[in-house]
Each structure stands twice: as structure tokens, then as C-alpha cells.
A and B are shown apart, each in its own frame.
Chain A
Amino acid sequence: MKKILKNEGVQAFVASVICILLGLLIGYIVLLFINPSGAGESITNVIKNFFTWSRPQSQMKQLGNTLAKTMPLILCSLSILFSYKVGLFNIGCAGQYVAGACASLYAGLAWGWGWLPCMIFAIVAGALLGGITGLLKAYCNVNEVISGIMLNWIALYTSNTLLTNVKETASPYTLYLDKTNPNAILPTLGLDKLFNNNSNVTIAIPLTILMAVIVWIILSKTKLGYELKATGNNKNAAKYAGMAQNRNIIMTLAISGALAGLGASLLYQTGYMRWECTQSSVPAMGFNGIAAAFLGGLHPIGAIFSSFFIQHITDGGQYVNTNFYSSQISDVISSVIIYLCSFVLFIKLTMKKMLAKSDEKKGAK
């Protein structure tokens, strides 16, 4: 038993589960405080998400929607953990996501590009924005968190301005991509059939999982990963070993940005979401990526499951009984859980300490 618990991977998993349970418990307590009578039902609905629907067909359809939104979240958390391993905290992920959304929508709506060029354009846009943060960090020593936050806002308002050119006249939303330019919609590869003809389920799923595997391979098996992690752990030693530090920083943030940009394209090019040109806050996807990355134990494969869970309860939030609670409560509950998710490292550390203590006791006997 103890031997199993000492395995790093198992520890990360157990810590994540503990975080989730704590989050649910605290969420439940919050509901109890506001209105005890609906709390039990509401928290179960949050956990059940699409299972709250009685017909299996509807369940599959809703699951499909959750999956469609999970893919960009996975990519955002990959973006975060990739740079985190190199010692950079890419909070600019949110802005790179925005840049990707803007690029794919604009190319699709204004220029009528096909889905692949749109997607590549989104990747390039994200990479460029990430690259700017990298350039500032490498050559001007600007902290990547500061420049990242600034660029998030720049990206948001630039996108609002640009996408106003392709919005509906009567609403603040961009035109329907599937009606304006069906070519820009991602191919479904028949996956939609599995989810009760939900056309939001697309090539995004296999593509995202492939990206997670690629990120994992790069970090753990390649020379590039060796260099990047060395730079992250000890940049002086990396310099001493003749690694190209500045190039590594810029490349890391560009790759991070590319992942976030791809994530945005995979959501907006399903036609599921439209851009609201008057929004005044950066979409939460990039920030949720931080929680997903940590909940997944900073492992690319872990990120797949943690992202699904976070998206699952975020979507589950809409099934909270509004007779008892105001509709914003869903956000409160999911944020409480997501917030608790970032305690993974702390829980892991506590577990390690407890294990070491009990070892010592055993040794004393």
C-alpha cells in the first residue's frame, strides 16, 4: 500500500481526487448556507451534468457539447504546463486563446478560408502573441506574467474591434460561421453520429489528444525537452552548458501560444460558440487552463482528464435548481471547485510529509 502511495503518479492522482472531493464539499456547504432545501439536489446535478437528462439520446448530445468545450481547455492547460516546466508562467495563455479565436473567425467569416487554413492562422496568431511575451522576457527581461496580462487585454480589445467587421447588425455577436462559410467548419469524421448527431463533436477530439501525447513526448523524451526543462530548473546551468537561453524562452512561449491558439480554433470553428464583440472580460478558458494543468498533476495526459472534469462541472453548474438559487450560483460552485483544484501541489506535499513521518515511526520501532 505504502509502496503504491510513494509512486509520483499515484500521489498526483490521489491528491487530485482529494482536491475534487474537498471542492465539492465546500461547494455543498455554500449551497447549504444560501438555501438548505435545494442543496443536495443541486450539488448532485452539478456532478451529474449531462446525466440529469433522462433520455440517453439527450445525454449523449449534452456530453458531446461538454467534450467540444473540453478540447480547448485541454489545449490551454497544455499551454500552461508546457511553459511551466520551463519555469515560465504563461498567464498570457488567455490572450493567446483570444488571438486564436479572432484569427480563425476573421479568416473564416471575412475571407472565406477553409477550415485548415483558418486553424493554421489561429495557431500562428497565438504563437505570435506568445512570441512577443517571449521576446520581451528574453531581451528586455520583462516578467512574462506582467506582459502576459497586458497582452491579454490588448488581444481582447483588438479582437473586439476586428470582429465588429463581421458581426450581425442587430446583435453584438459575430455572424454564424456554419451559415456564412460552411467550409470553415471542422470536419466531424463521423464522430457526430456517436453523439446523437451533435455536429459540435469534431476532429478536435483526436487532434487534441494527439497534441497532448506530442507535448508529453517532447517534454520527456527529446533533446528539446531536456534543454527546456534544464533552462526552467536552473537557467545559469543552462547557460553554462551552452544552451541558447533566449531562443529557448521565445520558443517555449511561442509553442505555448500556438497550443492556446489551436484550442480557440477548435471551439470557434465548430460553430458552437460565437464571439461577443462587446465583451469586456477575457474568456475564462485560458485561466481555467491553469487550474486544469495543476489538477492534472502538470502532466500532459493528466491534463486530458482534469480538463474534462473541470468542463464537466462547469457545464453541470447550469443544472443547479434556479427555484432555490439565482442563476449565477452555478459559476460560484464551479469556481469553488476549480479554486480547490489548484491546491493539488499543496496536498501532494502534505501527503509526502505524512508518509515520511510514518516511515520514521516505523524506523524507530
Chain B
Amino acid sequence: MLHITKRFPGIIANDDITLQLRHGEIHALLGENGAGKSTLMSVLFGLYQAEEGTIKKDGKEVKINNPNDANDLGIGMVHQHFKLVECFTVLDNIIMGVEPVGAMGFLQKKQAREKVIALSEKYGLQVDPDAKIEDITVGMQQRTEILKMLYRDNEILIFDEPTAVLTPQEIEELMKIMKNLAAEGKSILFISHKLAEIMAVADRCSVLRKGKYIGTVETKNTTMEELSAMMVGRNVNFHVEKGPANPGEVVLEVQHMTVASKVHNNNAVKDVSFKVRRGEIVCIAGIDGNGQSELVYGITGLEPLVSGSILLDGQDITKSSIRKRSTSGMSHIPEDRHKHGLVLDYPLDYNMVLQTYFKPNFTSKIGFLRKKNIREYANRLIEEYDVRSGQGAVTPARAMSGGNQQKAIIAREIDKAPEVLVAVQPTRGLDVGAIESVHKNLVAQRDAGKAVLLISLELDEVMDVPDRILVMYEGEIVGELDPKKTTQEELGLYMAGAKRDEVKNK
């Protein structure tokens, strides 16, 4: 890709970018949220057309007008949000669009199945071709996407932030798969902002910053610090600066909470009790799917409890509505920003007041919105929390990059001045610069005497940010650790269920 330039209203997403991919290499593309990585890949995949620049494959100039052209050229992509039909089987999804059809229009699935099985054996991609997508894990869904590309004999494979949705084990497996693919002569473009992963698998890494091309480096000749400095334009502190915690009185108390599961008949959260005090950050650690989501649903009121109770500032809120909890001082940064956190078709300013729109400042006595106040308020948050978007407060949330959407939610929830902040994977999908600022915000909340309950899947975050760690395994809290005294290995043993303590009801 040579000298690619792509403009959007109010923004130059890609400014004269050149990217060269060699046969059989894993090439990482690194950049902050909104740096233009996804746009560049969309140009390559034919979803957008660049205004300037050319794309060459094997030295020949090509035109890619749509994903079909890309596919014909052997370019395949695994999107961050998978494009799979939930109620179809793995096999059906793989052959979709290139179905082998025999006489009379009947599908010839047998040969397709053989090809899929052969491919999955060759590259070590374990899937069950007859399982339905809705029944399999996210990791398996991703393998299905990879098989989809291989089935189409694609030579160039694009992975758009593939590890964002995976558990640590699945990530490791994916790394192995990617190395296998490269060894077999496939070329891989790997979009990520997780430096450790890039250092682990990529051969070379190209860095974008604010739409501009910064440079390409060999990973073996560089360090994580150097890469992150290239990405954000300054040195980034990987470690959270914080003083000692001064825990005060209990703000949030969960007693013997049990929450049902939507997926299976068992309870997802089983008799969990813990307390969060003023001036401390408590982190719930654990591998994804061990009841953390349901725990948060129970605390915030999105799902009813089977049994147990929740106290906020000493008041029983077990049966309180979501609104009541919110106005009593609970803020919630949700796990899924598209599902819960934002109304995507609303402009940014409307989303900024999603939790407070009914307050007198934003709604007059007779029920009219005070649009001017809403706009001013949104502009202040945009400024303070550095939320970047094409058209400022009137940008539809849908048109914003994922990281900036997340920043907007964080701004909204923190600015509500909560007593307790429930932050679920608040740094998911953010780049190192943004992660640093989120962590600073969490620590600032703590230092202001608020209680913070952090739910995280990232080991680095779990070790770095909180003052106390509670490990969840299969719906129960199996250990309480002090991040200053424990090690990642010990934490891993608790998370995997290999070790457990009788936790005192503290």
C-alpha cells in the first residue's frame, strides 16, 4: 500500500501512509485509538476507497472496490466483531458465499467438510464443524473466522484486534496459530495495541499516529518502551503511580449474593460476600465467564438476585431500581459499551447525559430538555477527558472510534461524582496512552475518598491498579490477595481454580 490518503468529514484518517507486507511475515500495525488503523485496513479490504495512493500486490497495481475484489486477490479479514450467522453451524458459516453447489442446486457439503477438516488439522485450528456458532466459545468463533479465510485460499490475512475478546489461554493459542500460518507462507497483518503481543509474534511493526505513518521497525531490534513512545509521541509510564490507600468506612457491601445464569441452569454467582471501602480500589480478577458479569448485573440492578443483599452506604438497595441505585451514588462503566453504555444513534452530547438527563440542569420543570446546558456540559467533558470525534458534541456515537466511545462513558460515569464506581474492563480496547489516563482517573477517584470496584481480565491491570484483589472462580470468591505481595503466578493459580482459601467475610 503506497501513499494512501483517506479523508472523512472533519478528519484525515490516513495521511500518506505506506505499508509493505512481505510473504510469510507477521506484520503488526500499531497505533492509538483513532490513529487510522482500522480505516487503513478497510481500504485494503475494499470497504473504503482511498482518495490518493495505490495498492500493489506482487508488484502489480490492483483496484479494490469491494470486499469481493479483496477476496479475489486473496485478502481476507477477521473483524473485531465477528461476522458470523449465530444460528448456523461452523461449516455453514465457513462455506457461506462460496457454497459448493452440485447439479440441481443442491449443496455439496461433504467435500466442503473434508476441506475444512483438512485445513483445521493442517493449521491446528480445532473446531467442531457441526456445532452452532451460538453454542461455541468466542475463541472457537474466531477460529471459524480464520478457517473462513483459509477455505477461500486467502494469502493475506488481516486480524483486527483479535485478542481483545479472548482469554489469556486463548490468546496464547491464537499466537501459535498465527505463527503456524506464517510458517506455511501466509502473510499476516496484525492490528493491535497490546505491545506484549506484538513483541511476541510479529516480525515487523508499523506505527501510525493520528493518521500519519511514523515508521516500521523490526521487533527483535526494539523494545516495548520504544514502540509505545513511537505510538503516542511521548514516553508512557506502564506502572500506575499511586500512593498508599487510606481505606475508610464501608460504602458497598455485598452479602451472600447469588445470581442466576442466563446460559445454564446453575447459578452464575454463588453466595458471594465482600465489602468495598472508601479510598480503596478492589479488583475482581478471574478468567472471563466465571460469574463476573453476573456479579456486576446483580450489583447494578440489571438482573435480579436469587438471594442475598446489597448495601450502599448502609442502605439496603437489594430491591431498588437501577435509577435509584444510580441516584444513590453508584456509577457503572459497563462491560459492553455498545449494548449498554451508549445509544449509538444519539449524538455524543445526548450520550453524555444518559444517566443524568432528568436532573433539573438538563430538564426543565415541565419536561423540556435544556439543550444548551446539555451541549455545554458535553463540551466540558469532551475537553476534560480528551474525547476525540469528528464533529465534537454533535457527532453520532456510532461514528466514533471504540476508544473514544469508552472515554465518553468513563467521563460520564466519573463526572456523576459517584460514591462507588463499578468499572468493568474499563480499558478494554484502549491504547496505552488512554489506559494510562483511565488508571489515573480510577486512582484519583480513590484518592478523593470514593470506593472503586474494578472488574478486570488483564493480569497487568489486576496487579497494578487495585489495593486488594478478590479472585473469582466458578461464581465464588476463592481468594483475597494483596497485589504488593502476590505474584502473577500465584494469581494465575487462583484464577485457574488450582488454589483456594477460605475467604473471611471481610
Residues of A within 8 A of B (CB): 221-227, 229-230, 233-234, 236-244, 360, 363-364
The digit string for B320-344, where 1 denotes a CB below 8 A from any CB of A, is 0111111000001010000111111
B345: contacting residue among A233, A239, A241, CB under 8 A? A233
Given contacts A233-B344, A233-B346, A236-B339, contact A223 B358 (CB under 8 A): yes
Q: Are A240 and B322 in contact (CB under 8 A)?
A: yes
- Choose among B323, B326, B343, B369 the residue that contacts A233 (Cβ–Cβ < 8 A): B343
Whether A230 contacts B346 by the Cβ 8 Å rule is yes
A223 close to B357 (CB less than 8 A):
yes
Give A270 to B29 CA distance when docked, in angstroms. Answer: 71
Contact A223 B340 (CB under 8 A): no
Contact A240 B51 (CB under 8 A): no
What's the least CB distance linking B413 to chain A, in Å?
Answer: 11
CB of B368 within 8 Å of the partner chain = yes
State whether B368 touches A237 (Cβ < 8 A): no
10 contacts between A and B (CB under 8 A): A222-B369, A233-B344, A236-B339, A237-B342, A237-B354, A240-B341, A241-B326, A243-B323, A364-B51, A364-B52
Other-chain contact of B339, A237, A241, A364 (Cβ < 8 Å)? A237
- Per the CB 8 Å criterion, the residue count for chain B at the interface is 32
Residue B425 at the chain A interface, CB threshold 8 Å: no
B7 near A: Cβ within 8 Å?
yes
Cβ of A240 and Cβ of B369 under 8 Å apart? Answer: no
Q: Does B363 contact A (CB under 8 A)?
A: yes
Contact A223-B368, Cβ < 8 Å, known A242-B322, A360-B51: yes
Asked if A234 and B355 sit within 8 Å, CB to CB, the answer is no
B136 at interface, CB cutoff 8 A:
no
Contact of B368 among A222, A227, A360 (CB under 8 A): A222
Q: Which of chain B's residues have a CB closer than 8 A to the CB of A237? A: 339-343, 354
Q: Do B340 and A240 touch (CB < 8 A)? A: yes
Q: Which of B7, B325, B358 has the most CB of A within 10 A?
A: B358
Is B314 positioned at the interface, with any CB of A under 8 Å from its CB? no
Contact B342–A234 (Cβ < 8 Å): yes
> What are the 5 closest A-B residue pairs judged by CB atoms, nearest first?
A242-B323, A363-B51, A242-B322, A240-B340, A223-B363
C-alpha gap A325/B250 in the complex (Å): 84
- Report B-chain residues with C-beta under 8 Å of the C-beta of A230: 343, 346, 354
Contact flags B52-83 to A (C-beta < 8 A → 1, else 0): 10000000000000000000000000000000
Complex CA gap A229/B342 in Å reads 13
Chain B residues near A236: list those with CB within 8 A. 339-340
Q: Known contacts A233-B346, A234-B342; is A240 also within 8 Å of B332 by CB? A: yes
Q: Cβ of A240 and Cβ of B344 under 8 Å apart?
A: no
**A residues less than 8 Å from B96 (CB atoms):** none
Given A224-B367, A241-B326, 16 new contacts (CB under 8 A): A221-B368, A222-B368, A223-B357, A226-B350, A226-B357, A230-B343, A233-B344, A234-B345, A236-B340, A237-B339, A237-B340, A238-B343, A241-B322, A241-B357, A244-B323, A363-B51
**Least distance between A294 CB and chain B CB atoms (Å):** 18
Q: Which of B345-377 contact A (CB under 8 A)?
A: 345-346, 350, 354-355, 357-358, 363, 367-369, 371
Measured between C-beta atoms, what is the minimum distance from A78 to chain B in Å? Answer: 19
How far, in angstroms, from A227 to B363 measured CA to CA in the complex? 12
Shortest distance in angstroms between A31's beta carbon and chain B's nearest beta carbon?
Answer: 39
A221: contacting residue among B302, B325, B344, B369, CB under 8 A? B369
For A244, list chain B residues within 8 Å (CB). 323
Q: Which of A236, A240, A364 has the most CB of B within 10 A?
A: A240
B340 close to A222 (CB less than 8 A): no
Residues of B within 8 A of A360 (CB): 49, 51
Nearest-CB distance from A364 to chain B (Å)?
Answer: 5
**In the assembled complex, which residues on chain A have CB atoms less than 8 Å from the CB atom of B321?**
242
Residues of the B chain whose Cβ atoms lie less than 8 Å from the Cβ of A364: 51-52
Q: Bound state CA distance, A224 and B369, in angstroms? A: 9
Chain B residues within an 8 Å CB radius of A233:
343-346
A86, chain B: closest CB distance, angstroms: 12
Query: Roughly how many angstroms separate A229 CA and B357 CA in the complex, as a whole number?
Result: 13
Question: Which A residues touch B341, using CB under 8 A?
Answer: 237, 240
Bound Cα distance A364, B49 (Å):
10
How far in angstroms is the closest Cβ of chain B from A81?
Answer: 16
Q: In the complex, what residue of chain B is closest to A242 when comparing beta carbons?
A: B323
CB neighbours (8 Å) of B358 from chain A are 223
The answer to whether A226 and B322 touch (CB under 8 A), given A237-B354, A242-B355, A363-B7, is: no
B363 neighbours in A (Cβ, 8 Å): 223
CA of A240 to CA of B326, assembled, Å? 10
CA distance A238 to B334 in the complex (A): 13
Contact B342 A239 (CB under 8 A): no
Q: How far is the CA of A244 from the CA of B358 in the complex (A)?
A: 13
User: In the complex, A244→B326 CA distance in Å?
Assistant: 14
Instruction: Collect the chain B residues with CB atoms within 8 Å of residue A238's CB.
Output: 343
Known: A234-B344, A240-B302. A223 touches B369 (CB 8 A): yes
